[in-house]
Amino acid sequence: MYITLKNINKIYPNGFHAVHHFNLEIEKGEFVVFVGPSGCGKSTTLRMIAGLESISSGEFLINGERANEKSPREREVAMVFQSYALYPQMTVFDNIAFGLTLQGVDEDIIEERVKKTAQILGLTDYLDRLPRALSGGQRQRVAIGRALIRKVGIFLMDEPLSNLDAKQRVTMRGEIAQIHRETGATTIYVTHDQTEAMTLADRIVVMKDGYIQQVGTPYELYFRPSNVFVAGFIGEPPMNFVRGTIQNSGILFGDQRVDLTGVRPDLAAQEGRSVVFGFRPEAVTLAEQKDASRIDCRVELTEMLGDNTNVYITSGEQQSILKVDSHDTPETDAPLTFFIPWESMYFFDGETEEVL
């Protein structure tokens, strides 16, 4: 295994326990994304890997060798931050070359490597410019170039797209994926944006309150979330949740009843058990189908987004969102019937919120 984090903890000098028992193994060439809400400990973990923050306990290995005490340089990591941290008075060429210049690398070699890096990043025509004459996306590419040129083993990125506008972010996301394909560099990327995580990652680590919630491929996290938090965090709009207790082999969905006998006979038999029932907005259908539960509700609001429409519904007190084809946009303030396929139903324990 290329990178191993064994039972890593971070306790800051003020006593705050920011990262708890973090365990993860990363293979060479993998693109791993740490995702979670603000304050969940993802940057702290990345900074411990970078060597910018000490590791309070646990073991950190690179290529099987203990690296806890190694300096950032010895770890052979390069980091890209959310603020690009470019030198404003230096040209793009000099900014990219900076690390190598500092190391006293031969000028011919520097020139060759800057040109190669600029080519990968589409910056060839901008090498003579100063950072202020570049767009946000171009500046971010320079910052990535500066990290890439060092040819290190591990590439770390902390919210590298957060200073870009929505459109630039999508473009840059594609470019980062492309750069990873071309360089094959092992990458650890931190973001709070689940779309970035889903589109870039080979594997995603979902964190909350300093604890790993789940590690898996984007597919696994979407289709097999291990708890309510992950189920609600991955997917947009988020999964709908209905809290309740199992009564007469079913669960109440507002003023409707979902029978569990066909869906989950094991749960149907557990009278009185408290559960959280979940279904994704995009998993419902408006046409009747086999092996699906029927729900009658009322449409409160619709949002046409182009190919899809978000439909805000209520059933009794229960509010939910459905995502339907925009050609099927229902009328507002009117009754609606929809179907949830059994295979798209999720059940979690009412107390632990772990998947059942």
Annotate 254-321 with DSSP letters as a single string: TTEEEE-TTT-HHHHT-TT-EEEEEE-GGG-BSS--SSEEEEEEEEEEEEE-SSEEEEEEEETTEEEE
> Is there binding between residue 194 and ligand ATP (CB under 6 A)?
no
Work out whether 17 is an interface residue with ligand ATP (CB under 6 A).
Answer: no
- Least Cβ distance, residue 232 to ligand ATP (angstroms): 17
Q: Does 39 bind ligand ATP (CB under 6 A)?
A: yes
Q: Residue 232 is inside which H or E element, if any?
A: helix 228-233
77 DSSP β-pair partners: 154
What is the distance between the alpha carbons of residues 82 and 169, in angstroms, rounded to a whole number? Answer: 12
Please tell me whether residue 14 binds ligand ATP under the rule CB under 6 A.
yes
- Select 81 or 223, whichever has its Cβ closest to ligand ATP: 81
Nearer to ligand ATP, 72 or 99 (CB): 72
Least distance in angstroms from the C-beta of 220 to ligand ATP: 22
C-beta of 38: minimal distance to ligand ATP in Å? 3
> Which of 3, 24, 32, 41 touches ligand ATP (CB under 6 A)?
41
Among 3, 18, 176, 297, binds ligand ATP (CB under 6 A): 18
Give the shortest CB-5-to-ligand ATP separation in angstroms: 14
Q: Rule CB under 6 A: is residue 44 a binding residue for ligand ATP?
A: yes
Cα 233 to Cα 206, 236, 318, distances in angstroms: 9, 8, 20
Rounded Cα gap, residues 212 and 303, in angstroms: 34
Angle of CA points 23, 27, 31, to nearest 5°: 90
Task: Pick the closer one to ligand ATP by CB: 42 or 146.
Answer: 42
CB of 104 to ligand ATP, least distance (A): 34
Q: Which one of residues 3, 30, 33, 43 is an interface residue with ligand ATP (CB under 6 A)? A: 43
Structural contact between residues 290 and 297, judged by C-beta atoms closer than 8 angstroms: no
160 binds ligand ATP (CB under 6 A): no
**Cβ distance 206 to 212 under 8 Å?**
yes
Cα–Cα dist 355/347, whole Å: 6
Determine which residue in the list 115, 192, 208, 273 makes contact with ligand ATP, applying CB under 6 A.
192
Q: Could you tell me the two tokens for 332?
A: 């507002």
Q: In this structure, are residues 250 and 256 in contact, taking their beta carbons and an 8 Å threshold?
A: no
CB of 191 to ligand ATP, least distance (A): 8
Residue nearest to ligand ATP (CB): 43
- Residue 16 binds ligand ATP, judged by CB under 6 A: yes
Give CA–CA dist 293/285, Å, rounded.
Answer: 10
**Binding residues vs ligand ATP (CB under 6 A):** 12, 14, 16, 18, 36, 38-44, 192
